[in-house]
Structure 1
Amino acid sequence: MSLQNEATADRTAGATDTATGSSAKPTRVRWRLFILLLILVTVNYVDRGSISVALPIIQKDFHLSPELVGLLLSAFFWTYALMQVPVGYLIDRFGPRKVVTASCIGWGAATAASGLTGGFLSMFIARSAIGVTEAGVMPAGGKLNALWMHSKERGRGATILDAGAPLGAGVGGILITWLIASTGSWRYSFIIAGVATVVLGLFIWWYVRDNPRAHKAVNDAEAEYIETSHREEEALTGPVPTRRGLAQYLRFRSFWAMCFGWLGFNGVFYGLLTWGPLYLAQAKHFDLKTVGWSTFVIFGAGFVGEILGGTIADKLRSRGFGANLVMRSMLGFAAVVVTLGLVGVTLVGDPITAVILLSVVLFFLRWVGLFWAVPATLGGRENAGVLGGAMNLSGNIAGFITPIAVGFIVGATGGYTWALLYFVGSAIVMGAAVLVLDYSKRLVRA
């Protein structure tokens, strides 16, 4: 059944139920919306990580040293990080639908343009443009989580949204290597990926709405189900605050714990996303095809772990366990496993064992995707965009520092051991932050 026909059927059923005095069964548009966001973020990370998969070839074509590789990998993150807070304000002001559509079309065009570059400088500019245009996706997703999901479903909403990151990294490893092999050129693979992304942006505009009542496929029962949750939240935490400046949140420990937790998380994740394929190629001597499949296994484990983590968190919450108990115990345990797993990778020489350990690391690391429910908790629906932007800004400070730092470490030491220990330090920062954050309290009240 088409979405339009489904919308008509839903509204007809709602009208019939209202007339007979019975309650309609809520539609499940919110879940379809978040599956679409999962696809969007997956494509986002395919495009974002495509350079890492193709990097062994690009490095030879452009004659890049390890230091220049690090700078090139960081180009995306500089602009991506700097745009986070401004785009958060735009999301709160104009709504997530407009921002995420413009973002998708823009980064598709920039990805295609990166396939036309002729050297380090032009590729650096193209990657910077991708950073600018992709900036709105995750904060907009966090805002949609606040607007569309029941409070007891936000853990799954957050992790469905964020699970696109490891899925895109894993699928991207296979897809980009296949495109390179099929077309005979990394350039064509980038152009094809970019054009597909532009088409997806047009579909996003057609389907996404800023609130459930504005969506034709949502019946009154589903809209009321979501709105009742919002009213219950306000009864517990007070009315949703109006849009506020970011400065009012800077005095709170939980704000900084949110930021440092995401910083540590991305120190590990972006390190493995950007340098992981080259690590497998150079330190473990994998060929391009094996790098692609190993990347798929490692980041695929992260996707499974993230979906499972969100489901566990919501089930525990529905059984009456408090937000702090659930989040601190789950994320604290995950941080310990990630830290020990990374230490293990530095000690083992067998390449298969290293892939297995990295898969375990990604499985538990991605539990921290639950953080995308935190901006709505701390700032309410009206401020979820700007707080999500601040959180992602912090994470992407690690995004542009980590590739450069690893490049200099590898260049100076000739190996990856100290780079892996850098990731261990990031995991420790993440672990400390997730344990001190208060997941139950709004920071600024109306």
Structure 2
Amino acid sequence: MSLQEETSGKGTAANALPPHTVDIAPVARTNVRWKLFVLLLFLVAINYVDRGSISVALPLIQKDFGLSHTLVGLLLSAFFWSYAAMQVPVGLLIDRFGPRKVITASCVGWGAATAASGLAGGFVSMFIARMGIGVTEAGVMPAGGKLNAIWMHSKERGRGATILDAGAPLGAGVGGILVTGLIAAFGGWRMAFIIAGVVTALLGALVWWYVRDNPRQHPGVNEAEAAYIEASHRAEDEAALAEGGTTRRGLLPYLKFRSFWAMCLGWLGFNGVFYGLLTWGPLYLSEAKGFKLASIGWSTFVIFGAGFVGEILGGLLADRLRVKGFHTNVVMRSLLGVSSLFVVMGLVGVTIVSKPIAAVALLSLVLFFLRWVGLFWSVPATLGGRTNAGVLGGAMNLAGNISGFVTPIAVGFIVGATGGYTGALLYFVGAAILMGGSVLTLDYSRRLPV
């Protein structure tokens, strides 16, 4: 056989064999979006440690400043006046400049204001410092709602919303122990506030380092994760174009829709309960149930810790039900309707029981189910899309924080006038009923056609 024939034969034999193939395993998605939301969980927890620190220290502050129940109510409301007033303006800033800048500035500002509250000499200076905390904290939750719209796949936003919002009960619960521990360690509430403020200001550097306004801007996000998120965004944008587009809107076009008002009133009712327990809960345990400072800290941890667990489980359950094919409205109305029912029953129970441990157990039940309504932080992105999630989140939080400044004052007048807390608890029942009606009215399934 000639060399040419041999070569030709080898070629023929080689061509007869199946071509060699290389199996390339798909690259696993990175999970930067979840790490980002764990950071936001921590940030919101610190937010509520600072926000609720005055409530834990209130028996001492009330004594030092010689405050009546009416002045206590006004002092507790100071944060919420400025916080509520800033919600819509800061939502517009988030949509225009991005959440990263707003959250970083918030951390530095509210840390400084918290430290300043530790230097307050009386009611007026403490009132001003608390208003400063309200102004500077205002951007955190609307920015978190915007990041949920930007970073999370549509099937993950229930968990994203509740991870973000779960920082509230976590911070309220852990804050009770932290603040009482700092007070005990330093012999007073002032140094506790100063230390909390300095830590918060330093947290701003961590936020700037890790948070990004777009997944592709983050060095830790690989192509698989970015493509996964963007595929969800494309599907949403195609649906939005069919319903009126993705243009940035102001707030006014949304005011004509029932779902917008249901979102706002639901959050108002929710915060009527949550902020009432956050601001007056420690003093209620002290005056009505005879708890000492250390017992208040641990009881607060148990009550709000139950809220943290409930919120995480609520978000997980909502996303799992969606994945199983249940319609969004069925999932949200069922879960939030059930939660509203348990909140009402639990609060009514607290007005009946006399034993302190029973009251703590029922309040823990209330917080467990109440915090399911943290799913509302996925609603601004649903109604307005990623483009308008900031301003809608700000409007929702504005409505919620109307309860923030009305509730402490109302409870102060009720307790001062009646000499007890039964009327205040019934006020919370009314707020829970408003919440229940709203969560059953809202359409969670489509973007508003503005």
Asked if the contact 1:277/1:291 (under 8 Å) is kept, the reply is: yes
Q: Partners in 2 of 1:399 and 1:276 — Cα distance?
A: 14
- For residue 217 of structure 1, give the secondary structure of its aligned residue in structure 2: coil
Pairing 1:104–2:112 present? no
1:48-63 residue pairs with structure 2 within 5 A? 48-63=51-66
Give the superposition deviation at 1:20: 8.3
Q: In the alignment, does 2:167 pair up with 1:128?
A: no
Match of 2:13 in 1: none
Residue in structure 1 matched with residue 316 of structure 2 by the alignment: 311
Aligned equivalent of 1:181: 184
Q: Distance in 2 between matches of 1:320 and 1:75?
A: 45
Task: Find the counterpart in structure 2 of residue 344 from structure 1.
Answer: 349
Picking from 252, 257, 280, the partner of 2:257 is 252
Is residue 392 from structure 1 mapped to residue 397 from structure 2 by the alignment? yes
Structure 2 residue corresponding to 1:286, chosen from 291, 299, 314: 291
Q: Would you say the 8 A contact 1:241–1:444 is kept in 2?
A: no
Q: What residue is the counterpart of 2:9 in the other structure?
A: none
Q: In the alignment, what sits opposite 1:150? A: 153
Using the TM superposition, give the Cα deviation of residue 68 of structure 1 relative to its aligned residue in structure 2, in angstroms: 0.1
**Secondary structure of 2:358's aligned partner:** helix
Q: Is contact 2:109-2:201 (8 Å) kept?
A: yes
Query: 2:238 maps to what in 1?
Result: 235
Q: Could you say which residue in structure 1 is the equivalent of 2:270? A: 265
Separation in 2 of the partners of 1:87 and 1:21?
A: 47
Q: Aligned AA for 1:228? A: A
2-structure distance, mates of 1:215, 1:444: 32
Partner amino acid for 1:169? A
Look up the match of 1:402. Answer: 407
Query: Partner residue of 1:93?
Result: 96
Asked if structure 2 preserves the Cα contact closer than 8 Å seen for 1:258 and 1:434, the reply is yes
Instruction: Give percent identity, aligned residues only.
Output: 76
Q: Alpha-carbon deviation of 1:238?
A: 3.2
List per-residue Cα deviations over 1:95-136 (Å, max 9, x = no partner): 000000000110000000000000000000000000000000
Choose 62-71 or 198-207, whichever is displaced more. 198-207
Pick aligned residue for 2:220 from 206, 217, 220: 217
Structure 1 CA distance for aligned equivalents of residues 70 and 61 of structure 2: 14
State how far apart, in whole Å, the 1-side matches of 2:141 and 2:23 are.
42
TM-score (structure 1 length as normaliser): 0.95
**8 A contact 2:46–2:171 mirrored in 1:** yes
In 2: Cα distance, 1:58 partner to 1:439 partner: 43
2:256 match: secondary structure: coil
For residues 236-288 of structure 1, give each alpha carbon's deviation from its aligned partner in whole angstroms, at most 9, with x where no partner exists. 44365211010000000000000000000000000000000000000000000
Contact 1:144 1:210 in 2 (8 A): yes
Of the structure 1 ranges 38-47 and 23-32, higher mean CA displacement relative to structure 2 is found in 23-32
| Greater Rg by CA | 2
CA distance, structure 2, for counterparts of residue 230 and residue 440 of structure 1:
16
Show the counterpart of 2:72. Answer: 69
Q: Which amino acid aligns with 2:324?
A: R
2:425 is matched with 420
Task: Tell me the distance in 2 between the aligned counterparts of 1:93 and 1:376.
Answer: 16
Partner of residue 330 from structure 2, selected from 325, 330, 334? 325
Cross-structure match for 1:361 = 366
1:376 alignment partner, SS class: helix
Q: Matched residues in 1 for 2:94 and 2:36: separation?
A: 17
Give the letter for the 2:66 counterpart: H
SS at match of 1:238: helix
Aligned to 1:119: 122
The whole-number CA distance in structure 1 between the counterparts of 2:408 and 2:276 is 6
How far 1:21 moved relative to its partner? 6.0
Q: Give the secondary structure class of the aligned counterpart of 1:421.
A: helix
**Aligned residues of 2:70 and 2:412 also touching (Cα < 8 A):** yes
Task: Work out whether 1:81 is the aligned partner of 2:84.
Answer: yes
Residue 67 of structure 1 aligns to a residue whose secondary structure is helix
8 Å contact 1:237–1:441 — kept in the other structure? no
SS of 1:400 mapped into structure 2: helix
Q: Which residue pairs with 2:300 in the alignment?
A: 295
User: Following the alignment from structure 1 to structure 2, what is the Cα–Cα distance between the partners of residues 320 and 230?
Assistant: 20
Gaps of 5+ in 1: 1-18
User: Is residue 381 of structure 1 aligned with residue 390 of structure 2?
Assistant: no
The answer as to whether partners of 2:237 and 2:246 remain within 8 angstroms in 1 is no
What is the CA–CA distance in structure 1 between the aligned matches of 2:390 and 2:327, rounded to whole Å? 25
3-state SS in 2 of match to 1:209: coil
Q: Give the corresponding residue for 2:18.
A: none
The alignment covers a number of residue pairs equal to: 427
Residues 162-196 of structure 1, C-alpha deviation per residue, up to 9 Å, x if partnerless?
A: 00000000000000000000011100000000000
User: Aligned AA for 1:326?
Assistant: V
Distance 2:182 2:215 in 1: 38
> Is contact 1:163–1:307 with CA below 8 Å preserved after alignment?
yes
